[in-house]
Amino acid sequence: MKFCSLYSGSSGNSLFVSNNSTKILIDAGLSGKRIQSALDLIEEDPRGISGIMVTHEHSDHIHGVGVLSRRFDLPIYANEKTWAAMMKDLGKIAEHNVKFFDFEKPFNIQDLQIEAFKTSHDAADSAGFVIFDGKNQLGIATDSGIITPEMRSALCGCDLVVLESNHDVSMLEAGSYPFYLKQRIKSDFGHLSNETAGDLALALVKDGTRQLVLAHLSQENNYPLLAYETTARILTGAGVVLDRDVKLCVAKRSCASETINL
């Protein structure tokens, strides 16, 4: 299985996963043109995409979904409440490309098996995913204010986990955001802080995760080195040796990150 973060951050998100002939996008939160450009850079043809899975309906996750579906006849996978919330923003979607999934009920996109789990975010019914290719498991969990038991259970045992590390609490509190927005971000339905991500990362490494990608960083209240150093400090403080026990990296905001092969 191959993974690449095409874009990651509060300004737009899209992830690429492939295995043999199956190629999928998780979210497409930038313009169709920018998603195509990112795919070109990693030498992937958007016409070969097998489907787009949507975590939730916020614009930084669905901005290019409708355009890509129409342009390349791509199926879109989302749960029922997310479909209801995002239909008005997608534009006209061909009926045969409207696909539904249920939580904790595995479904397949060609030869990839996917299981969706609930996250805790201020969206209609936000989701994370575990993707299994018959050998390796990839877990994806962004946009959640807390670590729910369902999230922890789903992610434990994954070989690679893409985990939100959205903000540094001190930067958020001292920053220019209005009070209500700070409270939203810190709430149980907001976003994971660097410290919370680091604590979960440690639990995952203890359970066998060998690669971690920190994702969905805030442009205003975080920066890549701080996110990396926070999780690295928590891991090494517990005796984890980076690059031996686990590989840790941060997804880039405005361009494709390094491709990871499992």
Q: What is the pLDDT of residue 10?
A: 85
Query: What's the rounded Cα separation, in Å, for the pair 114 and 128?
Result: 10
24-34 burial, b at 16+ Cβ within 10 Å, e below that, comes to: bbbbbbbebeb
**Contact present, 46 and 36 (Cβ < 8 Å):** yes
Q: How many other β-carbons are positioned within 10 Å of the β-carbon of residue 217?
A: 27
Q: What are the structural domains, with CATH classification, of the chain? A: 2-253 (3.60.15.10)
Q: Are 142 and 215 in contact (CB under 8 A)?
A: yes
Alpha-carbon distance of 186 to 206, in angstroms, equals: 27
Q: Which of 226, 224, 231 is nearest to 253 (CA)?
A: 224
Owner of token pair 């979904």: 65
- Distance, CA of 237 to CA of 81 (rounded, Å): 41
Please list the residues that pair with 16 across neighbouring strands.
4, 25
- Cα distance between residue 221 and residue 242, in whole Å: 25
pLDDT at 104: 78
Q: Per-residue pLDDT tens for 91-109?
A: 999 999 999 999 979 999 9
- Please report the DSSP string for 25-89 in residue order: EE---S-HHHHHHHHHHTT--GGG--EEE-S--SHHHHTTHHHHHHHHT--EEE-HHHHHHHHHH
pLDDT at 20 (0 to 100): 80
When the pLDDT of each residue in the chain is averaged and rounded to a whole number, the result is 97
Q: What is the pLDDT tens value at each position of the chain, 262 positions in all?
A: 999 999 999 889 999 999 988 999 999 999 999 999 999 999 999 999 999 999 999 999 999 999 999 999 999 999 999 999 999 999 999 999 999 999 979 999 999 999 999 999 999 999 999 999 999 999 999 999 999 999 999 999 999 999 999 999 999 999 999 999 999 999 999 999 999 999 999 999 999 999 999 999 999 999 999 999 999 999 999 999 999 999 999 999 999 999 999 9
Rounded Cα distance between 38 and 23, Å, is: 14
Q: Is the pTM of this model over 0.85?
A: yes
